[in-house]
Structure 1
Amino acid sequence: MTLNPWELDRYSEDIVDQYIEMEQKVIDHIIDSFTQNANNDDLSDNSSDIVNYAERLIKYSRELKNHVHGNIIRAEEDNIKPISEWFKRQNGYLVGSFGRYRDKRLKETDKYMRLINRNMTRNSANIARQILTSATNEFRLGNKTKVQAVSKALHQWSDNGIPALIDDAGKRWSPETYVRTVVQTQANKLANEETLARVIDNGKYVDISAHVGARPLCAPYQGKRYSMFDNDPRYPSFYSTSYGKAAGILGINCHHHLLPVANNGDVYHPANINDKDNERMYKYTQKQREYERDIRKTKRHIRISKNVDDGMLDHYQQKLRRQQARLRNLTNNTGLRRQRDREKNIT
């Protein structure tokens, strides 16, 4: 079987929350630093102070390494244990042990997590310089005071946050998106690799589940049986499918299950799978996260307006009330739990 998006969420959620809070702390520090300087009639370069603050937070994030590893290993174990127990019951024995791909996946995870730690520090400095340049240019034009110039620069920037990565196509990856992608991708890969190894050790064949609306790279292969070995006279090789491609069988956001076949011909079926209900709640959860992000962004604007008294406070407070009502309606109508920690900015 594979880990579906709603299952992968369990292993990434608490780590993502840590990085959301870390980003918010840096953003709030940038806002407070610039507005305090502006209120003191100061437009000096404070990027070094912001970098020092970000570095202290990033140093703490490195302590999350064991937590990240633990969640990825838990995903592997939660996925492989039921299959192992089933094979032992069906075949009367169990061959092989799991964990053989662990080191590879954890090392790869560490590489990607080091990247976000390095980038967030560097990008914090770049953002501080961009805000300073924008505010200084506005002030020099003579149409705005230093406070007004800083207020405008901060409002223009604050929705963008601190990117964890700006890729070759220019796409900005937020810490929330980047960390969730890294943890879920590595957890999914490890679970899949261990599952396939267990099938090869204890059987020959797997079925791929089928569902309506399968992705183009998955649809041709669903609902069929495959051999785990090349040149099998009865069934095509599993490795001739789209397995290994991001949008293929067992890729991220794939909803298919691998169903191993025991030596006696019985097929493994995971217990209590209700994909329709899970998918519906997952979509609601995605919508909840979107609303939470919007609330955090608006609270940044409120912080700016409070700090410099720029006349925009009432506008943003009204916007916040509308956003909170929208989120409240969603949670009331779907049964989702309101998670206020994800809506806050750091005081």
Structure 2
Amino acid sequence: MARYIIEFLVKTHILKGVLNMLDYAIEVNDLRKEFQVKKKNEHFWKRKNKEKEIFVAVDNINFDVKKGEIFGFLGPNGAGKTTTIKMISTLLRPTSGTILVNGENVVENPIKALTNIGTVLAGERSTYWKLTGRENLEYFAAMHGITGKKAKEKTDYLLKRLELDKRADETVEKYSTGMKQRVALAKALIAEPNILILDEPTSGLDPQSARNLREIILEIKEEGRTIFLTTHYMEEADQLSDRIGIIDHGKIIALDTPQNLKNNLNKTNIINLELNNWTKDVLEEIKTIPAIENVTSKFNENTQNFEVKVHVSNGSETISNLITSTISSGIKIINFRVEEPTLEDVFINLTGKSLRE
């Protein structure tokens, strides 16, 4: 009898759905978000009879986030990354598709879904700067129905864990950027959510503060929590993420472990040049060389030189042509090296630009 029941559940996909709920913290299926484009200085009566112009920010994407993993979600500006995050955290309603958070549909049961999520969103002041660190945590604990002795214990624990206890009774406006970010993280943890959404958590932090926060993120993962992470730092994504999804123009264009993504570039040589000058004409000339796949550049303020990264698909012959073409343009090569592919190279190969452009 049990065998027939299982067969029925498998055939009707009920069992698969139950198993997915056990395995996945976040399930995104055919998710789409459209916005109506409004032109500046165009009066509403002129738009009345016109066909609506629609911008698709997120274009029918699908991905799952496994329970207990750090899922890195990367994309250039305007790719649909922030829109996706806001839909998962119930701040935006999808045009179509579904999002399940621990099995709860965020559209049908937003309150239940939110009980599973703690958020630290980039660019938003998520704490009250005129309150102390302690008062902030006590306030947000009360918002989650946590009061009295339990609230005090949770507040004291988080203040100590995030090394805020010595200045807990100073107003947040007096804190450094790193301390403010730790208060925001403590606020997200106060209700002990299963899932944390961290949107560029180390943005604007000095190297030491960023390193400390990354260590805390790894500790939180070790507790069994799921972390949905966005970042503008490729090294950070590589270091922290179990899997990475890359979104561009509203579509998921890659989804795998960091190592597998890098392994896909094994046949590509990564050439780094340090040059005393760089012009658009030289760029266009280099792009005409066969087997040159991508070229990116940036000016280094410290060295006052240009750093140029070139992806080459067929090795030594193309490298020789690259050097010859650069020198013949009157540009001095200060440094030259061939490197192993990084996650940044994967991103450039997929999108044609670096993450921070």
Q: Same fold (TM over 0.5)?
A: no
**TM-score normalized with structure 1 length:** 0.26
Question: Structure 1 or 2: larger helix share?
Answer: 1
TM-score (ref. length: structure 2): 0.26
